[in-house]
Structure 1
Amino acid sequence: MGLILWLIIGGLAGWIAGNIMRGGGFGIFGNVGVGIVGAVLGGLLFRLLGLHAGGFIGSLVTATVGAVLLLWIVSKVRQA
């Protein structure tokens, strides 16, 4: 059950981040990938800042923040 929830959170976070940063998502697999990598990045960032977000909503916020950061980094690399 944990893997399924992780994929759902990843997909939602990737979709939300895609809408925030570019106005659209990357398809189901792209959204899940961006959301999962973003969740790891967001978790590291929150831990460095001493923040803790628990539960489904907290995990979604953490993953979304990380996914937005990831998309911002990717856009800067593409511009260079």
Structure 2
Amino acid sequence: MNLLVWLIVGAVIGWAAGLVLGDRNSVLVNIIVGIVGAMIGGLLFGGPTINESALNLTAMLISLVGAIILLAVVNLVRRGRLA
């Protein structure tokens, strides 16, 4: 997949995860959350993600769920509730 498209889709997924959890982050953080969250979603659910060549609704949803999980864990750690 084109690198620019991958970064843009990662940013949108990270932004959407932030909206779901009420979190406001920078564009760079959104990109990282979207891409790493897609990896987590792919590992947990075994389906396609935005990190693969196929870009469809299933890949977007799995990536979004992974990004939400990642943001939730990061928020728990940042606030000191898991430490």
Assess if the C-alpha contact under 8 Å between 1:9 and 1:63 holds in 2.
no
2: CA distance, partners of 1:75 / 1:69: 10
Q: What is the aligned length?
A: 76
Aligned residue type for 2:9: I
Matched, 1:44 2:26: no
In the TM superposition, residue 6 of structure 1 has moved relative to its aligned partner by 1.4
Assess if the C-alpha contact under 8 Å between 2:48 and 2:59 holds in 1.
no
Q: Which runs of 4+ in 1 moved over 3 A?
A: 51-55
- Write 1 or 2 for the structure with the bigger share of helix: 1
Alignment TM-score, normalising by the size of structure 1: 0.78
1: CA distance, partners of 2:4 / 2:48: 22
Which consecutive residues of structure 2, in runs of 5 or more, have no partner in the other structure?
none
Aligned residue type for 2:57: I
Task: Name the residue aligned to 2:12.
Answer: 12
2: CA distance, partners of 1:73 / 1:7: 22
Aligned residue type for 2:2: G
| CA deviation vs aligned residue, 1:46-66 (integer Å, no higher than 9, x gap) | 11xxx4575332222121111
Task: Name the residue aligned to 1:70.
Answer: 70
- Considering only aligned residues, what root-mean-square deviation do their CA atoms show, in Å? 1.9
Alignment TM-score, normalising by the size of structure 2: 0.76
